[in-house]
Structure 1
Amino acid sequence: MHLFFSVGEPSGDQHAAHLIRELRRRRPNVRCVGFGGEAMEAAGCEIHFRLTDLAIIGVFVVIPLLWKFWKLAQQARHYIEQQRPDAVILIDYSGFNWFIAKYAKRAGVRVIYYVPPQVWAWSEYRISRIRRWVDDVLCVLPFEPQWYAQRGIKVDYVGHPFFDEVAEHRLDEAFLDDWSSSKYRNVAILPGSRDSEVRHNFPLMVETMRRLNERHPNVRFLVACYKEKHRRFCGTYLMTHANRLPVHLFVGKTPEIIQAGEFCLMVSGSVSLEVLARGKPAAVMYWAPWPTYLIGRIVVNIKYASLPNLFVDREVMPEFIFVGNQKKLLTPLTEVLHGWLSVEDRLNAARHEMSELRERFAQTGATCHAAEIVLQRLTPASATTTAKAA
């Protein structure tokens, strides 16, 4: 079996890597190739281009890279037409992956969209692309099956792979022991996985940490950097703007930092699901330039930025969207975190609410379910019958 993957987000890289391992566990001779990242390569995928290096967000950021994306799309098209994989598996990253879906469909290759784009959130007209170019949709959010069904599209709900990844990860107990203390209180800082997210959000996070430190000198801030380059950026920024703050930078320790923190200050993203899975209270923030924000106000039709809030249609995680040079939201953001540090009942209430959501939504098994569906769809009925008989 020959599968072509196209994955552009760091979180998608993790989801694809787990799916590849599960597919190869069930079918050792499966060949996986395509666009992706380090995790997929470690799982045995032949990476033709490190697409996760181009993980960006925003209309205006994309423009300088349009030629690069077009060349990559043509590279994928030629490969699909000449090598004829059994299926193309797409994970999120819709702006680019729509082209891959179209080329594969025209070539007569089955298209499977695992973790489909959030067409329910903005630009609903894109649903027509799913109808035309996608054969199988494996959705991961609990409200998606009904949304698709109302529009006449049959999908398979598999659950979110993030919960599998959290359950499988063995925490570094030595790290947790080193950073547990009766003298200090830990706050987890999650500045995002994209370069642009870190660049724009971390300075706002530092100002929030500075304000908290003035009122709570016994608090230390553990920062979960996604890449070494992010750690270097954060370290340089701290040296020049806040070198006396009790901030500690780490790479590859996101689960441990979430676990060690009493609560999280996080950039909006899929990491909110890991925060949910660990039952941690969190305040969510995101920076956007004015043009992107104004366009979003027109095309986005959801009330919340973070997935746990969308699950229950209310603000379980307080959200703060910063626009341009606007910093007035730093005060209410700081007050929320100050309240958790100052009033134990507030923090306990937030913990209880997150624990209840975890019990409702943080279910495992998505990766196995997705692998099972992929193999079912790509295995001829006669072969399936023979395998069962054997």
Structure 2
Amino acid sequence: MPEVFISAGEASGDFLAGALVAEMKKINPNLNFAGLCGPSLRAAGTQTLYDINDLGVVGFWEVAKKIRFFRKVLTQVKTELQSRKPDLVLLVDYPGMNLKIARLAKSLGLKVGYFVSPQFWAWKEGRVETVKKCVDKMVVLFPFEVDFYKKHGLEAEFYGHPFLDLVKPEIPKAEFFRQNGLDSQLPLISFFPGSRKQQLERHLPLIFQTLSRLKADGLRFQSCWGLAPGLSKEHSAQMLPEEFKSEVKLVDQKRYSLMAASDFALSSVGTITLELALLQTPFLIFYKTSPLTYFLAKRWVKLPYVGLANLVAGKKIVPEFLQSEAAPEKLAESAYFYLKEPLLSARLKEKLATVRENLGSPGALPKIAASFCRLV
């Protein structure tokens, strides 16, 4: 039975990887998958060797503090690759770990596929040399990445973005409101603080202070916390301040219905900004990290914006609030601005429609699955 070792180190990669594995199994039902995975990969039938919830760290200093743990994981991965001798090592995003796994796999003479390119075009461009030496097939999500790799003498494949098919409300808005006990007469503010421990610690206080300011400004609304995959309602409920324990609804399923039903959203950086844009939900982007991480990022990252929605649009259509700018009064002012001015909210929705136009054509996932199946 052909075997694929797969590695996805965070929630967004796990979601795409799970969908990819399901498509690959349609093409070849005999494929067996095992690796570093989360709930989506497990749901697709992947054997878990390491849970990605243990791997989720963001920031230079934060990674440095767990370096021994990551070395231990890599040692176990090497042992697994040596004993299993998989027909394909399939890596999904998460370059800090996956580029090291690519080098390990290639040193063992294994075939390596990479899905969701690391953002070399944003920072540490020199890491593309590892792809040159160690990756047999690179499938990217954005058309401009094809040109980036071509500039470096590499051929990357682009079939369109899977989100064009995957990102859609699971149920109608009225049904979502009914299931979650929401009031159709009140605006809904949703928030997405991230999936990693450090993100939650920095972002949740900012969000609750923002909501408190909106209440103090006289805005009547209801709010939902869109839980990232892997976050339980029980654990998340313990992070709610007393003021919000009876007010904030925790949503761990039908997240796309939540996004689509929201009148406004507060979003951390990452894939979530692309999902919100595709659903044309008005939102703002915020992010806070350690001072050292932010200082180094400012020196190394070569991007005008941090939100994927803005990067894909090629201009700043969604407001961004980073580090010191990510203050409760500024987030509250922006949210209030859009919620009280329907015309401005409608204009933002029109701008968000351009994001979909820049992501290629629907039907990408079966083509991507077929491409990787050809390596097995």
Question: Smaller-chain TM-score range?
Answer: over 0.9
Match of 2:43 in 1: 42
Q: Distance in 2 between the 1:170 and 1:2 partners?
A: 36
1:200 to 186, 199, 202: 202
The 5 A counterparts of 1:168-187 are 169=170, 174-178=175-179, 181-187=183-189
Given the superposition, is the C-alpha separation of residues 243 and 291 from structure 1 closer, same or farther in structure 2, using an over 3 Å criterion?
same
The 5 A counterparts of 1:49-68 are 49-68=50-69
Q: Distance in 2 between the 1:284 and 1:130 partners?
A: 31
Query: How many angstroms does 1:207 deviate by?
Result: 1.0
TM-score between both structures, scaled by the size of structure 1: 0.89
CA contact (8 A) 1:6 1:36 kept: yes
Query: How many angstroms does 1:18 deviate by?
Result: 0.9
Query: How many angstroms does 1:227 deviate by?
Result: 5.5
Match of 2:359 in 1: 361
Given the superposition, is the C-alpha separation of residues 245 and 211 from structure 1 closer, same or farther in structure 2, using an over 3 Å criterion?
farther
Query: How many angstroms does 1:215 deviate by?
Result: 2.3
Q: Distance in 1 between the 2:292 and 2:352 partners?
A: 34
Equivalent residue of 1:208, what SS?
A: helix
Given the superposition, is the C-alpha separation of residues 144 and 170 from structure 1 closer, same or farther in structure 2, using an over 3 Å criterion?
farther
CA contact (8 A) 1:163 1:273 kept: no
CA contact (8 A) 1:277 1:362 kept: no
Match of 1:387 in 2: none
Equivalent residue of 1:288, what SS?
A: coil
The 5 A counterparts of 1:108-123 are 108-123=109-124
Letter in 1 for 2:369: A
Q: Distance in 2 between the 1:101 and 1:82 partners?
A: 16
Letter in 1 for 2:207: M
Given the superposition, is the C-alpha separation of residues 229 and 276 from structure 1 closer, same or farther in structure 2, using an over 3 Å criterion?
closer
Instruction: Pick which of 290-299 and 63-72 moved more.
Output: 63-72
Q: Is 2:215 aligned against 1:224?
A: no
Runs of 4+ in structure 1 deviating by more than 6 angstroms, as ranges, are none
Structure 1, gaps ≥5 residues long? 379-390
CA contact (8 A) 2:191 2:266 kept: yes
CA contact (8 A) 2:11 2:229 kept: no
Query: How many angstroms does 1:53 deviate by?
Result: 2.7
Equivalent residue of 1:333, what SS?
A: helix
The number of residue pairs the alignment matches comes to 374
Q: Distance in 2 between the 1:282 and 1:95 partners?
A: 29
Query: How many angstroms does 1:183 deviate by?
Result: 2.6
Instruction: Pick which of 358-367 and 276-285 moved more.
Output: 358-367
Query: How many angstroms does 1:54 deviate by?
Result: 1.5
TM-score between both structures, scaled by the size of structure 2: 0.92
- In the TM superposition, what whole-angstrom CA distance separates every residue of 1:330-382 from its partner, at most 9, and x where no partner exists? 3332222111112121111111211233344374323212111012233xxxx
Query: How many angstroms does 1:221 deviate by?
Result: 1.4
Match of 1:335 in 2: 333
Letter in 2 for 1:352: E
The 5 A counterparts of 1:83-162 are 83-162=84-163
Q: Which has the larger radius of gyration?
A: 1
The 5 A counterparts of 1:266-277 are 266-277=267-278
Q: Distance in 2 between the 1:13 and 1:105 partners?
A: 23
- In the TM superposition, what whole-angstrom CA distance separates every residue of 1:219-242 from its partner, at most 9, and x where no partner exists? 1112112257564565344434x3
Q: Distance in 1 between the 2:224 and 2:152 partners?
A: 44
Query: How many angstroms does 1:274 deviate by?
Result: 1.3
- In the TM superposition, what whole-angstrom CA distance separates every residue of 1:36-61 from its partner, at most 9, and x where no partner exists? 11221121111111134321101111
Match of 1:352 in 2: 350
Match of 2:191 in 1: 189
Q: Which has the higher contact order (CA 8 A, sep 6+)?
A: 2
CA contact (8 A) 1:190 1:267 kept: yes
Percent of pairs with identical residues: 27
Q: Is 2:12 aligned against 1:14?
A: no
Given the superposition, is the C-alpha separation of residues 127 and 280 from structure 1 closer, same or farther in structure 2, using an over 3 Å criterion?
same
Letter in 2 for 1:353: K
Given the superposition, is the C-alpha separation of residues 197 and 171 from structure 1 closer, same or farther in structure 2, using an over 3 Å criterion?
farther
Letter in 2 for 1:200: R
Query: How many angstroms does 1:64 deviate by?
Result: 2.9
Structure 2, gaps ≥5 residues long? none
Q: Distance in 2 between the 1:12 and 1:59 partners?
A: 20
Match of 1:299 in 2: 300
Query: How many angstroms does 1:209 deviate by?
Result: 1.0
Q: Distance in 2 between the 1:290 and 1:7 partners?
A: 27
Q: Distance in 2 between the 1:328 and 1:352 partners?
A: 25
Equivalent residue of 1:71, what SS?
A: helix
Q: Distance in 2 between the 1:40 and 1:173 partners?
A: 30
Match of 2:313 in 1: 312
